[in-house]
Amino acid sequence: MIKINPLFILLFSLVAIPALSQEICISEEEKKLYDLINQYRKSKKLKPIPLSAKLTKTAQTHVHDLMDNYSYEDAATCNPHSWSDKGKWSSCCYTPDHKQAKCMWDKPMEIAGYQSAGYEIAYYTSGTANAQEGLEGWKKSPGHNPVIVNLGTWEKVEWKAIGIALYENYGVVWFGELTDEETPKVCK
């Protein structure tokens, strides 16, 4: 019979699942986007989605990666849900045919230890990304609006967590089906 030291199991579990090591903050504009999304959901008679520190960390990491490393010249091959090979994560080419979607869905676990898949909507603007423009664009999008208001493929899904990030030209929102007990704070 093999004996396993309980300390080894504890250390392995701490290494295998990244924890949030710093406080996660959102800006006032990101909080505005969060509020606008929930107001829009309320207008559709849907419950609000609790804000998640882990999904927000994932979102914040991705908008920085997009701003620093993504080129729309590559969009025919790898769309903006892709992740570069220039960070502490595995690279991911999310193809337009969605065949590589799992590499994106797994990012919340890889980046922040969120123990479920995450689903992202993203937007780009030539100006500064902001809450109102982001939501208005997503509401008009046949691929993004259904995620926000649980239509079509997303009809039976209950979102229990949401992460928000706006940075320079990009905005992203991550949705998850697992509750996250940690909530980001609004920081200035």
pLDDT of residue 1: 44
CA-based R_g, the chain, Å: 17
Distance separating alpha carbons of residues 20 and 88, to the nearest angstrom: 14
Q: How far apart are CA 92 and CA 100, in angstroms?
A: 8
Residue 69 confidence class, pLDDT cut points 50, 70, 90: very high
Distance of CA 82 to CAs 56, 62, 72, 96, Å?
A: 17, 9, 11, 10
Tokens coding 101: 């979607």
Task: Provide the pLDDT for residue 188.
Answer: 74
**What number is the average pLDDT over the span 52-57?**
98
Whole-number pLDDT of residue 7: 35
* pLDDT above 90 coverage of the chain, percent: 82
Question: What's the whole-number average pLDDT of the chain?
Answer: 90
Q: How far is CA 111 from CA 114, 136, 181, 184, in A?
A: 8, 28, 17, 16
User: How many Å apart are CA 121 and CA 164, to the nearest integer?
Assistant: 10
